Structure 1
């Protein structure tokens, strides 16, 4: 089974080279591209102001983040969670750039970009010429966006996990699948709560009669053994 980690960040701005910092980081464990329910999430004190234009995007103010752990205090926990596995993000160079800038401040090695899987690149190849931001992809795949009033790293990870499954070819969802991890831990995949299950009604009497007539015309059918 393949383990990978999907992650997202929220920040004070767009460029760590000009002093912007991470204020939220979230990650979701995937086994064979499906969420296991194992999640990492924390808010981070950026040790600087949060510009109003950034607050309008993610909803966090400086006051919301005072007293939260600094990145140097959560860095090792995040690294332990992601391990050495593949790292998936939407517009991944942005998130890699911010995390690596924070790791540099902590004097820790950067994330290897060979681990990067960028769902934006995958989406652009699948839907050339179309909008491929997370909102557009969720609408394209009929994924519920009603909770996404602002950008939130954990919610965005959960939405992207659904989008990623579809980008990779789709799976039958909500079947209560389970796997056993290498450590013997049994994981039950979460039901997709954003989609209503489609129930197939039992056949009526006419359909059952037609089926029996069809079987009667077959030579030595398996159903009669």
Structure 2
């Protein structure tokens, strides 16, 4: 099963009031294991960056001035997203900006049935606790020491780990053979894979002989019907 964990950074809180998306980071999961394929892009919002927004993510007008507009990268983004479920923290916010930008490009919106909200999941599983990304990383022992400012790709990578824990933990991703090899495209960054090859623990001849010798010392074992 393929899923995409994503996060966005914006100029503010409301697309309807002129705020725009300036960064998006996406992480691909297959069977809830990171494959190493990610999508990351910055966008020029065509407006000034408010100081309070820059204080959150550190993206200045000067930094974004030479970045493409959203419509220039929309095809690559949609190709990466495909038809997979999309996971985000407080997902209605990220979907609102993503679909707002798609509408500006005269593209179909992403159906809300594909939305998975880890904030809703966390509130359901841990009522009364703090549910920020930082708090959830602390709860699950996920290293966030390198998170000084918000960043879409970094936050998506942290959220991918949080999502796996919310879904039951690492053991659910043991079907490692099903993870495909990364496919590299010019707009898709590939990080080192965290998937280890399966290890085999078959007993050797010495161990098999020792086991047989031990079994021979047992008198009337329960599994030996012939001794009854």
- Tell me the TM-score range normalised by the shorter chain: 0.7 to 0.9
Q: Give the Å deviation of 1:76.
A: 1.1
* Whole-angstrom distance in 2 between the partners of 1:140 and 1:169: 14
> 1:120–1:214: structure 2 CA closer, same or farther, 3 Å change rule?
farther
Gaps of 5+ in 2: 184-191, 197-212
* Gap change, CA 1:215 and 1:49, over 3 Å in 2: farther
After TM superposition, the structure 1 = structure 2 runs for residues 27-42 of structure 1, keeping only pairs within 5 Å, are 27-42=26-41
Q: Which has the higher contact order (CA 8 A, sep 6+)?
A: 2
1:94 matched to 2:67? The reply is no
CA deviations on 1:105-130 (whole Å, 9 max, x unpaired) are 11111110010000100110110011
Shift of 1:213: 7.6
What's the offset of the Cα at 1:32? Answer: 1.1
Corresponding residue number in structure 2 for 1:163: 162
Ranges of 4+ aligned residues in structure 1 off by more than 2 Å: 172-181, 185-189, 212-222
Does 71-80 or 172-181 show the bigger shift? 172-181
Structure 1: which 5+ residue stretches go unaligned? Answer: 193-211
SS of equivalent to 1:144: coil
Change (3 A) 1:215 1:83: farther
- CA distance, structure 1, for counterparts of residue 56 and residue 215 of structure 2: 61
* In 1, Cα distance between equivalents of 2:40 and 2:216: 56
Tell me if 1:137 matches 2:141.
no
Q: Is the alpha carbon distance of 1:173 and 1:11 closer, same or farther for their aligned partners in structure 2, counting shifts above 3 Å?
A: same
SS of 1:47's equivalent in the other structure is: coil
Computing the radius of gyration from Cα coordinates, the structure with the larger value is 2
Q: Quote the RMSD (CA, aligned, Å).
A: 2.8
52-61 vs 164-173, which moves further = 164-173
Q: Could you tell me the TM-score, scaled by structure 1's length?
A: 0.81
